[in-house]
Amino acid sequence: MSATPRIEFELSQIALRLRSARERQDITLAELAAATSISKSTLSRLESGQRKPSLELLLPICAALAVSFDEIVSPPRVVDPRVSQISTRADGRIFVPLSKHQGEPQAFKITIPGKEKVPIRNGKVHVGHEWLFVLSGRLRLILSEHDVVLGPGEAAEFDTLNPHWFGSADGAPVEILSMFGKHGERMHVRAKSKPKAHGAH
């Protein structure tokens, strides 16, 4: 990477960090302008990368946002990306966390034993949204009036306010991936579509 593109990249990162720091604190451009005596248009141009940052601009902004100067101008420290997979057990199931962050959604690999009784009642109900992906085995999912079986490579998602239960469909262990968010937000699972063959319509 030559010097000029690298400088442009670093300036664009400063712009992104400025905007992120402001939005984390739920401060509007108008409020930041009032706190720093820097015009709203100048702040907007800084955040979009259209205005070159300077000490005279960055120092009062950092003070108003209560963030360090280094946090804005220096790249974030890269930490070990590996997730410590310490398993826990609950109701005979093994849960392995796949998320390092404390926010949502949370991801788990779950191993479900084959010998589980289907609940007599309708299943659990709680606030949230769950996405399931079957890695191995056959998963039975009871969701309200639906009773379906999912095999390896199949996925399901649902609002957990609906009565639900899932477990082994045939008495053999099942391994799944689960993503869960407590606030009921829909999981947006993105996948690249397969290119159409030549001549396909």
Give residues with Cβ within 8 angstroms of 110, minimum separation 6: 93, 94, 95, 96, 175, 176, 177, 178
Model confidence at 200, pLDDT cuts 50, 70, 90, reads: very low
* Cα–Cα separations (whole angstroms), residue 158 to 128, 146, 162, 166: 9, 11, 8, 12
pLDDT at 184: 46
pTM here is 0.55
Give the chain's domains with CATH numbers: 3-73 (1.10.260.40), 88-181 (2.60.120.10)
Torsion on CA atoms 185, 190, 196, 197, rounded to nearest 10: -140
**What pLDDT, in 10s, does the model give residues 149-191?**
999 999 999 999 999 999 999 999 999 999 988 754 444 443 3
